[in-house]
A and B are shown apart, each in its own frame.
Chain A
Amino acid sequence: MKHLPHILVIALALVACAHGAERVYMKPSDFIKSSFGGKIPDTSVLNLSGSVKSRAKKIMAHSYGESRVRYWKRGNRSVWILEEIGKTQPITTGLLVENGRIKSVEILIYRESHGWEVSKPFFTKQFSNASLKSGDQLSTGISNVAGATLSVRAVTKLARLALYFDSIT
């Protein structure tokens, strides 16, 4: 018990000096720029209603949180910045789709305490060239990361959703 005051003081000091870097691995705008040769195209909007909404719900296994989803498109390339909760926090994910296949996946902002492995290239590169097959499943199997099951699940759903959204725009 004699150490409790020390712990409280240190905890308060942590509160006071909470000025470290954000867990922003890549700015969303930088992901869009890098996907389109340095320039951000106009933002387009996909309205989620009727059958689109219900199919998105089936992919996510719950209602998608927004009724309008923004995306950026030029030619046969589209960029989607989507979010899904892993355990408790949304994982902000950038997805580049080209000709109906995933070109790249980047974890832009990661907020969970565990499961950070999904932000690393050894995980995200598994999605390269994946397309949508029957049942809105990915054509490529995604290996789980022990201890990051919920985050793996969340990012995999977002890849399926981006491919579906791309197919209807």
Chain B
Amino acid sequence: MQMKKTHRNTTAACTAICLAAAQLAPAHTFRERLAEGGTLSADDIDAAFSQPQDMVWYDRFSFGSYGEAHFNTGDVPDKFDIHRLVLFTAYEFNNRFRFISEVELEHLYSNDPGTDLVWELEQAYFELDLGNNYHLQTGGFLVPVGITNEIHEPTTFYGVERNRIETEIIPTTWTEFGFLLRKNYDSGLQWDFAVHRGLRVSPADFNANGPDIREGRQKKNTFDDMFSAATARVKYTGIKGLELAAAMQYQHDISQGPEDNSAFLTTAHFIYTNGGFGLRGLAANWNINGETAPGSGIDIDNQYGAFIEPSYKWQFENGMAVGTFARLLYWENEDAPDGQTDYQAGINFWPTENTVVKADWIYEDRTGGQTNRNIYNFGVGYAF
């Protein structure tokens, strides 16, 4: 009797598993039917390419990764750093609704004892398609400003380190929590509007010249200061090989303290490519109100910078590519109140489309009694 009961239970379990498997199995039925050839209706053809409704659950996940390791030498201490490893995960709820996240591990290894291992949530947002060209994002997303903040896989830019304007003035990588609306048009025009959490620069990150904007990013993923900032961007890519974009951001109070430090960021950039030739440039300006500290009597100056970068890339039929670039940068901020000019040149080698080896040289022309420096950088990166 006990044996029969066990057998019945086993049969029931097997039946349940088979039924569950049957639920998962028909994912590619339409595809298989289509591949048989012959006369097929328009509905059958359309159904074959309309994926998510009949996808198995694991097909709804997608993964990606990118990473880079750097070595810096010259007139700076030698430093080796596995700078970042990023895991991208997305889940497609249906054709119109998805979740996207990126988790980043920074400085997995570094010979610099002052460089600590950091885990960061770079993105985690829901995206809803309100129409073919109309999207709403909510959660933690990359602020739509500049060139590098949204697209920064190491295979997509020249130079081992990201350009200094998009680290000193635009604090890339810059994630904020809130809502973002995006609309694009057949003409190649796109606009974005976001309301989101604001910066919070602590008093310790102000010096006599003003705030360290980069330190204002709230890395702890807190929800304080929500909706105290707004960003608007217009982007145009309707002419072959050309991208033009401009963005403005208002921050209610970047210090979030007793001193009223409201701020405007304005930035614009262009990217032009024609065959192997490329030219890109970017300018960004912070207009920050208030004083460096309550009662200090010292008004904060603007912080701004710009760069221009010509390049040329040779693409070979075997998939390899080599590119070379030069870059001229100038910026003024709290650490360089009298300005700093950088001259940079280097080379990228792509053994495959998803991997890159980089080398570059930077000459830093510094002011304020600081010594000028030569820096040599070497790096490897991947993205898939």
Interface positions of A (Cβ within 8 A of B):
1-4, 7, 10-11, 14-15, 18-25, 27-30, 32-33, 40, 42-45, 61, 66, 68-70, 81, 83, 85, 87-90, 92, 108-109, 111, 113-114, 116-117, 120-123, 126, 134-135, 137, 141, 143-149, 153
Contact = CB atoms under 8 A, between A and B. Distances in A.
B97 A15 contact: yes
Contact of A143 (B179, B187, B273): B273
Given A21-B129, A143-B273, A147-B243, A43 B34 contact: yes
Contact of B138 (A7, A85, A90): A7
B50 interface: yes
Nearest to B138: A11
19 contacts: A1-B223, A3-B223, A11-B126, A18-B128, A20-B128, A22-B95, A22-B132, A27-B42, A29-B45, A42-B38, A43-B45, A45-B35, A70-B34, A114-B150, A116-B184, A120-B238, A126-B240, A144-B241, A147-B243
- Residue among A88, A121, A149 with most chain B CB within 10 A: A88
B9 interface: no
Given A24-B50, A117-B237, A145 B184 contact: no
B49 A21 contact: no
Chain A: interface secondary structure? mixed
Contacts of A108: 49
B100 A113 contact: yes
B379 interface: no
Chain B: interface secondary structure? mixed
A42 B39 CA distance: 5
Interface residues of B, number: 72
Interface of B: 31, 34-40, 42-43, 45-46, 48-51, 62-64, 88, 90, 92-98, 100, 126-136, 138-139, 147, 150-151, 156, 177, 179, 184, 186-188, 222-224, 226-227, 237-241, 243, 271, 273-275, 280, 317, 319, 352-353
B139 A11 contact: yes
A7 B177 contact: yes
Contacts of A32: 45
B33 to A, nearest CB: 10
Contacts of B177: 7
A43 B271 contact: no
Nearest to B45: A29
Given A18-B97, A21-B131, A42-B37, A88 B139 contact: no
Contact of B239 (A23, A122, A149): A122
Given A18-B96, A113-B127, A27 B46 contact: yes
Top 4 closest A-B pairs, CB basis? A29-B42, A88-B62, A18-B97, A135-B317
B243 A145 contact: yes
A70 B274 CA distance: 35
Contacts of B92: 89, 111
